[in-house]
Structure 1
């Protein structure tokens, strides 16, 4: 059984732990932005990042694989600060937001499928039609606009005449 003082003594220098958290967060954020919106499901990309990174950060301290709970706490704090900083910067600087935050993209316009977006997101026509049916739409011609939202969901605006 480890001594109490060993359990809270950091295994690595605190600046190194913080830097590791920041670098991993930014690298994963960039990679997930490249993957695309559809893969994130109902959560935003930053939500997924936070859950995964914090789970990994605290796993050593929880499972006893690490001698230090402090490392997990410092790493978690670094990840959360990084997340808040990215959100604050995206709020303040629209150009930065365009890089790190996904935006709604038109999937259907005036009944016509955006095949380019579908290829980019690896969406088949059958998948799009399935999502339309969930909105009570049986034919893309009934759709004025449909957007692939940042959380991966599809929002549908019907034609006034349909």
Structure 2
């Protein structure tokens, strides 16, 4: 057994065509991006256990779909580069074309208006009233009647405009 010999060919030379790696990486990235965009922002800006599980399972499933059974550093680098390319390109598209940005990052969703919750929006995002009240308390709001407007932002956080907010 030779512990210090390295098979440089296996380390750097891809076993799969570069074009196939780029196509696989692109398709998996775009599919996962679409699926994750359509899932509700249930945890209000936090990463819950179910969200973490989805990410881990997606990563496991995507690894095989993207590269089949890659073994070289070059193949891993090509896949990482493909993912970085799509991430940058989609963000660039969103910057250049506001219509596309709405797909990447949804507009704020109104949850409370003049102290009253908008039930269908809470149901759409699978947010219970108790969870919403908890987030309000964390921001120093004790009662729903104090809230003029509350929005769930694209990142899952909640922004609040209270009835006592000053108009400048």
Same fold (TM over 0.5): yes
One of 73, 82, 89 as aligned partner of 1:85: 89
Structure 1 residues 33-76: Cα deviation after superposition (integer angstroms, max 9, x where no partner): 11023358358xxxx9xx97xx76xx89xxxx743111100000
Partner of 1:138: 142
Partner of 1:23: 27
Q: Distance in 1 between matches of 2:26 and 2:83?
A: 6
Aligned length: 147
Q: Distance in 1 between matches of 2:141 and 2:155?
A: 21
Matches of residues 2-41 of structure 1 in structure 2 within 5 Å?
Answer: 3-39=7-43, 41=45
Partner of 2:115: 111
Based on CA coordinates, which of the two structures has the bigger radius of gyration? 2
One of 84, 98, 104 as aligned partner of 1:94: 98
More helix by proportion, 1 or 2? 1
Gaps of 5+ in 2: none
RMSD: 2.5
Q: Is the 8 A contact 1:22 1:78 kept in 2?
A: yes
Deviation at 1:92, TM superposition (A): 0.6
Tell me which stretches of 4 or more aligned residues in structure 1 moved more than 6 Å.
none
TM-score normalised over the length of structure 2: 0.78
Gaps of 5+ in 1: none
Deviation at 1:78, TM superposition (A): 0.4
For the pair 1:71 / 2:85, whether they are aligned, the reply is: no
TM-score normalised over the length of structure 1: 0.81
Partner of 1:147: 151
Q: Distance in 2 between matches of 1:38 and 1:153?
A: 10
